[in-house]
Amino acid sequence: MSVALSVEDLLEAYRTMRTIREFEDRLHVEFAKGGIPGFVHLYAGEEASATGVCMNLNDHDHIASNHRGHGHSIAKGVDVHGMMAEIFGKRTGTCRGKGGSMHIADFDRGMMGANGIVGGGPPLVCGAALAHKLRGTGGVAVAFFGDGASNQGTTFESMNLASVWKLPVVFVAENNGYAEATASKFSVACGDIATRAAAFGMPGVTVDGHDFFAVFEAMRIATERARRGDGPSLIECKLDRYYGHFEGDNQNYRGPDEVKNLRANKDCLQRFAKALTGDHGIAAESLAAIDRDVLALIEDAVAQALAAPNPEPADLLTDVYIKY
């Protein structure tokens, strides 16, 4: 790693990763209880990607996310209480209960929205990046998308447009091996998604998405390039999801013990914790303290979400320009 992160940074990264994990694990439980409506796609297992990427960003930078957006949102600083309430559909939610898990957005944090449309986000970040460029803010915009989305025309077009316009964009392909029940081995004709960068005249790199440091470093380079005005980059994070495509998926398309082995051998949080307590000499108790904080936070977020009111009937007709 060519840039030293401070202990505070590292602990913040740990807190973010732990918050995402706890948030998702808890949603898994709450969903099974029947309390959560709709489609819910969990990010557990992929925390190092969102965190390693967003640690390079500030509040003025932008991200656009996808259907699996909780991790990106948390890493970008969206309020966890608001998110939890939103996922429960409550009026106190980030989107006042009108969006749900697939549509969490917070423009004050530069979070342009999760997205129910695969490939919906990449064009949008080109626009955010264009705004940064025209205003000379030095800001960056990031598109998170999956291996499945890497085959969507909108994604390809956006890479070309960002390159042609030399936009400060970073394309982060989170390759978790599956798009629903279809393997990326089948759907991505060229194997590594990073290979596609050459088709758009930009640098591309594949990193181990379980390794916070690898993601952080790739993103550091890409972000610097973008802020310098040299244009977009593509980073492919190879990683794994721990739960099904959405809650309810029995994952019969995965190998026997696939997830068990991943959890045991590749877990990004364990690996990060080990690095912190090892190389970086951070006391295990510091991490344990964060774990307790996070647990309490999520506990509180769920309790508040459960207690929060539903939207008012009148909310049905607000936030759209006119009634008919």
Partner 1 sequence: MARKILFQDAIREALDQEMARDPSVIVMGEDVVGGTGAPGEMDAWGGVLGVTKGLYGKYGNRIMDTPISESAFVGAAVGAATCGMRPVVELMFIDFMGVCFDQIYNQAAKFRYMFGGKAQTPVVVRTMIGAGFRAAAQHSQCLYPMFTHVPGLKVVVPSSPYDAKGLLIQAIRDNDPVIFCEHKALYAMEGEVPEESYTIPFGEANVVREGKDVTVVALGRMVGFATKVADDLAKGGISCEVIDPRTTSPFDEDTVLESVENTGRLVVVDEASPRCGMAADIAALVAQKGFSFLEAPIEMVTAPHTPVPFNGVLEDLYIPGPAKIEAAIRKVKGYKG
Ligand X SMILES: Cc1ncc(C[n+]2csc(CCOP(=O)(O)OP(=O)(O)O)c2C)c(N)n1
Interaction residues for a second copy, span 198-237 (CB under 8 A): 198-202
Of residues 143 through 162, those in contact with Mg ion by CB under 5 A are: 146-147
List the single partner that 14 binds among partner 1, ligand X, Mg ion, none, CB under 5 to 8 Å by kind: none
Give yes or no for residue 322 binding partner 1 (CB under 8 A): yes
Give 3-state DSSP helix, strand, coil % of the chain, rounded to 5.
Answer: 50, 10, 40
Give yes or no for residue 35 binding partner 1 (CB under 8 A): no
Give yes or no for residue 37 binding partner 1 (CB under 8 A): yes
At residue 23, the 3 state secondary structure works out as helix
The C-alpha atoms of residue 107 and residue 113 are separated, in whole angstroms, by 8
Of residues 126 through 145, those in contact with partner 1 by CB under 8 A are: 126-128, 130-132, 134, 141
Say if residues 144 and 150 touch (Cβ distance below 8 Å).
no
The C-alpha atoms of residue 8 and residue 93 are separated, in whole angstroms, by 30
Of residues 237 through 256, those in contact with ligand X by CB under 6 A are: 245
Say if residues 309 and 95 touch (Cβ distance below 8 Å).
no
Give yes or no for residue 190 binding a second copy (CB under 8 A): yes
The C-alpha atoms of residue 106 and residue 137 are separated, in whole angstroms, by 20
Of residues 169 through 188, those in contact with ligand X by CB under 6 A are: 176, 178-180
- Number of residues that this document lists for the chain: 324
Min CB(210)–ligand X separation in Å: 15
Give yes or no for residue 198 binding partner 1 (CB under 8 A): no
- Provide the 10 A C-beta neighbour count for residue 255: 8
- 101 to each of 26, 93, 172, how far by Cα in Å? 14, 10, 21
At residue 154, the 3 state secondary structure works out as helix
Min CB(240)–ligand X separation in Å: 10
**Of 27 and 179, which CB lies nearer to partner 1 in the complex structure?**
179
Give yes or no for residue 83 binding partner 1 (CB under 8 A): no
Min CB(139)–a second copy separation in Å: 22
Choosing from 10, 42, 55, 64, the residue that interacts with partner 1 (CB under 8 A) is 64
**What are the residues binding a second copy (CB under 8 A)?**
151-157, 159-160, 163-164, 186-191, 195-196, 198-202
